Amino acid sequence: MKSVQWHDTHITILNQQALPHKTEYLDLKNIKDVWDAIVALKVRGAPAIGMTAAFGLALAAKSYETNDLAQFHANLKRDRDYLASSRPTAVNLFWALDRLMKSVANATSVNEAKTTLIHEAICIQVEDEDVCRRIGEHALSLFQDGDRIMTICNAGAIATARYGTALAPFHLAKEKGMTLHAYACETRPVLQGARLTAWELSQAGVDVTLITDNMAAQTMKAKHISAVIVGADRIAANGDTANKIGTLGLAILANAFNIPFYVAAPLSTIDLQTETGDDIPIEERAKEEVTHIAGVNIAPNVNVYNPAFDVTPHELITGIITEKGIVSGDYKTKLPTLFEEVFV
């Protein structure tokens, strides 16, 4: 099941807001459709957001009528900035858009630039599938047959090109005949764990148990959780990690119960220009996400604080799992080595 698909005249996405009740695909026909889909969480997950934005920029560029390269680049910069404004925390969004911008920096004609943008966006998607599989292989090396592993939000196949990041080891374990038991936190307020992770893993035949977020401590204790694995939206240079709200609480609990806590993410999620988690912008979303469930008001008219992400400090992270391998300990020193041609 592809979360994002490129067509010559439009982009097709799996509408994650409709899951699990309906498997629905939406056609995005212009840049505003793409921006709206990202903001409304119809497409979500850092890698999928990056892919969609990349295709969105390529789609927008196809519509430019100018043959003047300077005007083309001006239009492209405008649309890049527009798409970048959709969500501030996930660094893959900016990484993908900037990769497309760099790909056409030396284009000699508008037609060449348009073709290059489409090719580069497709390459991002193709590469992501391989990246996710490698992340899954490295993650799987940390687990034993029969392990019980907790996760939050959805860092799965529908949030990437395939396999996912934090959910990749579950999919690969299934392929290899190995049993991993998943415990999925529901992930209030938008319920990505309940609506998406529980659905995705059950569709794949993975044993999955759904819990509410405030059951995590009791579940760790009573069910003898072996490890916690989560995705990431941005990893700072020192290893501090922004991920879906509730991740920090899981990390604190895992530390209290002496349970390994892993972050699974591609190199594109590591932002070496952001020194610490304090420098990561945290998106705040509409209060209705908290006061309403499925459109039904469940709360009185009071003030609401609704941060979409929190930041887990590096000292609570046992290891960061990437396509290049697993790093732990001195993240500030080790994370930059992942970007070297030969990983040390």
- According to DSSP H, which parts of 144-278 are helical? 168-175, 192, 198-203, 216-222, 247-256
Q: Residues 157, 167, 122, CA angle at the centre, nearest 5°?
A: 30
Say how many residues make up the chain: 344
Residue with tokens 């992942």: 338
Active-site choice (33, 147, 213, 233): 233
Instruction: Say how many C-beta atoms besides its own lie within 10 A of residue 192's C-beta.
Output: 27
Q: What is the DSSP letter of 164?
A: B
Is 45 one of the annotated binding-site residues?
yes
In this structure, how many other beta carbons lie within 10 angstroms of the beta carbon of residue 289?
16
Residue 46 annotated as binding site? yes
> 310 an active-site residue?
no
Is 44 annotated to bind a ligand? Reply is: yes
Q: Which residue has the tokens 């030969």?
A: 342
Known binder of ligand: residue 87?
Answer: yes
207: amino acid identity, one letter: D
188 is in an annotated binding site: no
DSSP 239-265: S-EEEETTHHHHHHHHHHTT--EEEE-
Would you list which residues are annotated within the binding site?
Answer: 44-46, 87, 192, 243-244
Would you list which residues are annotated within the binding site for substrate?
Answer: 44-46, 87, 192, 243-244
Instruction: Catalogue the active-site residues.
Output: 233
